[in-house]
Structure 1
Amino acid sequence: MTPGPTAPPGPSRRAAALRLALLGALLALFAVGVLTGVTPGVDEIRAWVEGAGPAAPFAFVAVCAAGSVVLVPKPVLSVLGGVLFGPVVGALVVVPGVTAGAWAGFALARRLGGDVVHPTRGRVDDVLLRHGFVAVVCLRFLPVVPFGLVNYAAGVTGVRVVSFVAGTAVGVVPATLVYTTAGASLGDLTVGQWALAAAAVALPALVGAAVWRRGALRR
C-alpha cells in the first residue's frame, strides 16, 4: 500500500516554532541593547543603587538578576558590586543576583523553546543530563563561556532546574570573588595581586575544562 501524503505540521508544532523564533528575537534584542548602550550603563546603575540608601544591597541583587536576563556581562556586574560594596559583601549580593537572573533566563528559554530543541538531544545535552550539577559547575568555571548565553542554552536542554540553579550558585563564586576584589581595589592592585587574581580565575577554569572534557568523552 502506498503511504498517503504527510500531514502538515499541526497547530502545536507551529506554535512551538513561533515560541522558538520569539526566543531568538528576544536574545537578539538583548544583545543589541547591550552593544548599543540602550541597556543602562555602569554610571546609571551605580547612581540608582546608591540612591536606594539602606536597601542598596537588595537593589543591586535585583540589578544583577535583571542584568543577567538581558545579557549584561557578568564581569561588569561583579566589578560594579565590588566598587559599591567591597569584595565580600559585593560577592554576597552578586552571587544570588546573577543566580536568580540565570534561573529566569533558563525558565524563559525552557518555556519558549525547550519542547522544540531538547528532543534533538545533542552531545552537550547528553552531558548535562548525565552529570547535571557537576556539568553546570564546570561550565560556570569557564570564563570564556558567556554567562547569559549559557542560561538560555541550558533552558533548551534536559538538565534539571535544581541542578542548573545549584551548579550556577556554586560555579560563579570563584570568578565573582576575583572581580569584586578587583572592583574594590581598582587602581590599587599590585602586579602580584593581579597575578593571584588571574590564577584564581584560571585554575577553576582548567579544572572545569578537564572535568567537562572527561564527562563529554565518556559514553
Structure 2
Amino acid sequence: MILFFEVIVKILFISNISSKLKFVPTQLEALSQIDTKTFNYYTNVLESLGFTRISDLELSESSLSVVRLFCHPKHLCFAEVMQTPGRSLVFCAIGSALEQEWSVSFRDNSFSHAIVYAFLRRPKGIIVIKQGVTPEELLRSHLKFRQKIMRDLNLQLLPDISIEAYFDKSQKIRTDQRKALWRKSLIIGLIETWLFNFKSEAQKSQWLGDYTRLAARKG
C-alpha cells in the first residue's frame, strides 16, 4: 500500500511539472499587473554593471511568470529579473553554468519553499538567497563564490551565454527536477518538508548540494 501510494502521488506531482519548458518572447510593458518601475530599476543597474539585455520572456505553466534576461560578456553569466504578474515580488537572479552540470544561482529576494527544497532540489544546483542586497553586491558575491567552487572542485566555467544556452540549461534543470522527484521517497520528502519549518533563516537561504562534501574530500 505504501508503494502504491508513493507511485500514485508521484505521478500526480510529475503531471503538474511540464517536461518541456516553453519560453515565449513578449513585451513586459504590454502586460498587466507588471511592476515596470522595479523592472526598469533592475534594468538600469544591471546595464550599468556591464550586463546586456537579451529579451523579455513569458513562461506559462501553472501560473504565468515573466523574466527579463541579461548576459554579461565579461563575466560570462546570466541575470534574470522575474515576476509572477499580480504578485508584488520581483527579484533578480544571477547565474552561471559550470562543467559537469554544476550551476550557481544567487538571488536577492526569493522565497524559500519547503516543497521545492524537499522534492526538487538538485545535488549540483547551488542556490543562495541574499535578501535585499543591491545588484552590485549580488554580482560581487556570485563571482566570489563561483571562483571558490571552481577552485575547490576543479571546474571550468561554461562560456556560452547565448539565449539558446539559457534555454538548454533551463530545460536540463527541469529534466533533472523531474528525475529527482521520481527517485525521491515521498515519505522522506514529506518529513523534510516538515523539518524545513524548523531551519534557521540562514539555513533556508542557501542550498549547497554536494559541494561541501566534495570540497572537503578534495581538500
Give the structure-2-normalised TM-score.
0.31
Larger radius of gyration: 1
Higher helix share: 1
Higher strand share: 2
Structure having greater relative contact order (Cα 8 Å, sep ≥ 6): 1
Give the structure-1-normalised TM-score.
0.31
